[in-house]
A and B are shown apart, each in its own frame.
Chain A
Amino acid sequence: MRHKHAVWIATAIAALISVPTTYALLRAYEVLFRSEPNPATIVWTPHIAVFWRIGIAAYAAGMVAPLAYLAACRDLARLLRVLYPSLLIAGAMIAIQGVFMP
């Protein structure tokens, strides 16, 4: 195994998986804990929520990356094994949020 490359790959994948996870959490928080105006009453607003959520999720991915890098340096095989269930959890989260908390 080309260890150094593999560490960076695992880091990138972990960061990518954290994007939909963060996105789903942000939207779920907005739906559950914040009152939003009815979209039918809004003519225009400069705030494009979906872009902000993606931006914040990308920022969070940037914070996940160093942690994933440290984890990969410590035990790469373990991180690679953890990525698969993480992917499924992220998929379940965005599916549940997308369907039930639009």
Chain B
Amino acid sequence: MTATLLLRLLERVHGHLGWLSVGALLHPAILLRQRRRRARLSVSLATGLVAVTALLGAYIYPSYRDRIKQHLFIEAPKLGWMFERKEHLAVGAVAFALVGWVSHFALPLVAGGGGEQSLARLAHWAFVLAFAFALVAAVLGVSVASYRSF
């Protein structure tokens, strides 16, 4: 398999994992509206998917810069700037998913105090934000990938 083929494969895997992450993040974003609800599996799967997607994206990002970025900005600068937006929002999605995961798993540790309510609300909104950012990032990613690929 040539390097280009491998990059193309990884790019598609990254894209599919990204959309899976969006779906997975929606689940805790809905479930955790109920403050007493515990959804450790859902929370872990969603956060894990987001993390794997981000790591894969970071792995192929240097190749994107080498092979695609300049051409994209020459041929379709609007799409180039869309990809830049995608990067920033993806950073937010990963960070907020991690916040949600830590907050949700920490709930038993703060049980009995007023902190439980605060952490439960934090976990819910962290996943809502992560979902929103991941969704926009996925849409922008598809827009760019459908125009130009490795």
A contact set with B: CB distance below 8 Å: 1-2, 5-6, 9, 12-13, 16-17, 19-20, 23-24, 27, 38-44, 48, 50-51, 53-54, 76-77, 80-81, 83-84, 87-88, 90-91, 94-95, 97-99, 102
Q: Which secondary structure dominates chain A's binding surface?
A: helix
Chain B residues packing against A (C-beta within 8 Å): 58, 61-62, 65-66, 69-70, 73-74, 77, 80-82, 84-85, 87-89, 91-92, 95-96, 98-99, 102-103, 106, 109-115, 118-119, 121-122, 125-126, 129, 133
Sample of 12 further A-B pairs with CB below 8 A, known A80-B118, A87-B125: A9-B119, A20-B91, A23-B92, A40-B74, A40-B80, A42-B70, A48-B61, A51-B58, A87-B99, A90-B95, A91-B129, A102-B85
Top-7 shortest CB links A-B: A98-B88, A1-B113, A40-B73, A94-B92, A9-B106, A102-B84, A80-B118
Residues of B within 8 A of A23 (CB): 88, 91-92, 95
Q: How far is the CB of A55 from chain B (nearest CB, A)?
A: 12
